[in-house]
Amino acid sequence: MAELEVGGSSNVRSGGYFIVRSIGECRRCRASTPLIALALPPGHQTLSMDTEDAHEASTPGIWESAACSALLFYVETLPESVRRRLPEYAQAYRYAYSAESQGSYWANHCAGCGALAEDHDLFCEPDGAFLPMSGARTTDLELVWIDEPIEAAAGGYSCDPVFLATAIGT
């Protein structure tokens, strides 16, 4: 499992974060299973790369403040303090290889059968666990504020998802 290289492989950071809790249905065994996601409040920072120099690994990026809240997915690296905390909220959230996405990331798994729950299905599909399309579905989501720093590498970033912006008042 890759360790977080502070200032190296991360592309988002914040002084605190939310754990978003939900319940979803396993696409293999159809059982209900707890799911979690990580979200950042407005004011978090994102690493911006100069597009002309982005291909050069030695080119440092610039940290910029984001006015929106954000939901992270395809999370590749997390600090040890965050990794130690996550089992309190979903024991089946772990680093794994996805044949579908052909990469490894922190992913939800079914608590019953252990099947990986693809981030695309949870975050990008309408009425996925973290993309509710109705007000009734947003009440199924619970936000837990964690008052500690986070620095991570996320391949997916959803700016101001409606349920999050409503819940934190942005």
> Domain spans of the chain?
12-168
* Percent of the chain predicted with pLDDT > 90: 75
Identify the pLDDT of residue 57: 54
Q: Where are the beta strands (DSSP E) in the chain?
A: 12-14, 17-25, 32-40, 45-48, 62-65, 70-77, 93-98, 103-109, 116-117, 142-146, 150-159
Identify the pLDDT of residue 136: 60
Identify the pLDDT of residue 166: 80
Please tell me the pTM assigned to this model. Answer: 0.87
For the chain, residues with pLDDT lower than 50 are 1-8
What is the spatial distance between Cα 9 and Cα 151, in angstroms, rounded to a whole number? 9
Identify the pLDDT of residue 3: 37
Identify the pLDDT of residue 117: 97
What is the spatial distance between Cα 3 and Cα 8, in angstroms, rounded to a whole number? 11
Task: List beta partners, residue 47.
Answer: 63
